[in-house]
Amino acid sequence: MQVRDGRAACLPSCWRCTGFCLLIALIFLIMSNSGVDGGGKLSSIDFEIFGNVQGVCFRMYTEDQGKKLGVNGWVKNTRQGTVIGQVQGPSNKVQQMKAWLSKVGSPSSRIDRAEFTNERDIPKLEIRGFGTRY
């Protein structure tokens, strides 16, 4: 390998730039697939919502909101008249979903109480997508 002007003559400078750009793209791809969102971490939380939350499209709106926020999880009616589920994703998005479940819900719902349990950091997503369970 010859060195001219402090650069390796065997590789044109454009190839070195291309290699550097590919390295940056690979790092970005790895970070985006690992769930890192701007340096954030992944969280998981279970929920149960009390009030008038069945027969008012609460599950459908919850699924739509989860997809809109880009979190993963599931939602389900219980025999006790509540709605249960789980949310996973970047911690900031999980917190946004938690606030939505506590205060907003579907237009016809009445949320009396929201309980959140099993809140934890997770190394990777355990659920794919957001759906309704029966």
Longest dimension (CA), the chain: 78
> Residue 73 and residue 132: Cα distance in Å, rounded?
9
Which amino acid belongs to residue 7? Answer: R
Strands (E) in the chain, as ranges, are 3-4, 7-8, 42-52, 72-77, 83-90, 110-122, 130-132
Contact 25, 33 (CB under 8 A): no
Q: Would you name the residues annotated as active-site residues?
A: 59, 77
| Distance in angstroms (rounded) separating the CA atoms of residues 117 and 108 | 25
**Residue 98 is which amino acid?**
K
